[in-house]
Structure 1
């Protein structure tokens, strides 16, 4: 049975949301330092991946920018390395009936739109690295619910809208705990669990767990 919608202010007042000024300050400081260090250290990876993407599909761009919903539903452009053919969005409608994910999210195994380079960078989560720029800009945080697509949010129930109460993140419980093996309802539960319990210690633990995903996650696709 669906739990009653809890508003942002109610979460703060109930102390379920660790939203102190100190926590938010330290979280933002960690985001800035972490994203800057990541961009500098991983710059050789960015260059190599960019070359490989252009060699396989010269027509498309290296980076893929997509509108996503952030905190309180505010939209922003999220960056990823392009892992699909240049006309992937045009082919989406033809594949909707093959969707294997529950809820409004679209995901299928062996998506024919994914390039060879794309399969590798998705498997290792390298395709997500450009989101370090979103984190530096302040659109995202290192840890938080994954930012949804507006067409998915349009189908959300009021309960599911709670995912938008905080700034979205690069990693979360879903990202390190099973990803595509987790149904959408459980995904929402994990996000709300994070929102209600989040603190710096949880953020740090999730960041360290995410490092292992970079070495290949069997549930990534």
Structure 2
């Protein structure tokens, strides 16, 4: 394997080697399309309910929130969510960065004051992430893969960290079904790179199954 150096240290790392079998990419895309279409069909009532609740709490605000994220090979795209924060949440981020509760190129704040009442519920239950099924259907994202980072986060990435961008990002992944509240950026990168190295249809199905089990559990999504 090729050896590379982390720009922030003198530690030597092995570069990830993609070893996808020929049928994997095809079967993964088929799974994404079928899964996203079934998701829209089965959860259409939930989409309507959440949209109504968001509008009742804040009639002037939008139902959906779109945010620029970085996908495969550094390509940027708009990722969609149900809006769970006040409309000027992005403008207030700079004031809250000092309260970041995780290390590395991520921002996490357990009691983020920007979150709305409806937002607290849909974030805890992962419902805010459901509109990303549209991103999956479009091909910007996959059901399973590394979470797509923000452009400002990627600017802080080392060459080693950027290996997360070798594959299509996902709605869920190994980090999402782990003890996410206690996992920092470095640990997340290691989990993602291990997934990229070993990924297969069986592993994807296992992660999807675990995701359904934690869907209504505690969550601190990105």
Q: Matched residues in 2 for 1:79 and 1:21: separation?
A: 30
Secondary structure of 2:218's aligned partner: coil
Tell me the equivalent position of 1:128.
129
Q: Do the aligned partners of 1:83 and 1:117 also contact (CA within 8 Å) in 2?
A: yes
Q: Do the aligned partners of 2:110 and 2:220 also contact (CA within 8 Å) in 1?
A: no
Please report the TM-score for the alignment, with normalisation by the length of structure 2: 0.92
- C-alpha change, 1:113 and 1:211, in structure 2 (3 Å) is same
Q: Do the aligned partners of 1:59 and 1:86 also contact (CA within 8 Å) in 2?
A: no
Q: Quick check: 1:38 aligned with 2:39?
A: yes
Q: Do the aligned partners of 2:143 and 2:172 also contact (CA within 8 Å) in 1?
A: yes
Please report the TM-score for the alignment, with normalisation by the length of structure 1: 0.92
State how many pairs are aligned.
213
**Structure 2: unaligned runs, 5 residues or longer:** 1-9
CA RMSD in angstroms comes to 1.5
Q: How is 1:54-93 mapped onto 2 (pairs within 5 angstroms)?
A: 54-93=55-94
Q: Do the aligned partners of 2:24 and 2:200 also contact (CA within 8 Å) in 1?
A: yes
Q: Matched residues in 1 for 2:203 and 2:61: separation?
A: 38
Once the two structures are superposed, residues 165-192 of structure 1 have per-residue CA deviations (whole angstroms, 9 ceiling, x without a partner) of 1000010011000122211100000000
Q: Quick check: 1:166 aligned with 2:175?
A: no
Once the two structures are superposed, residues 8-30 of structure 1 have per-residue CA deviations (whole angstroms, 9 ceiling, x without a partner) of xxx13xxxx3x222100000000
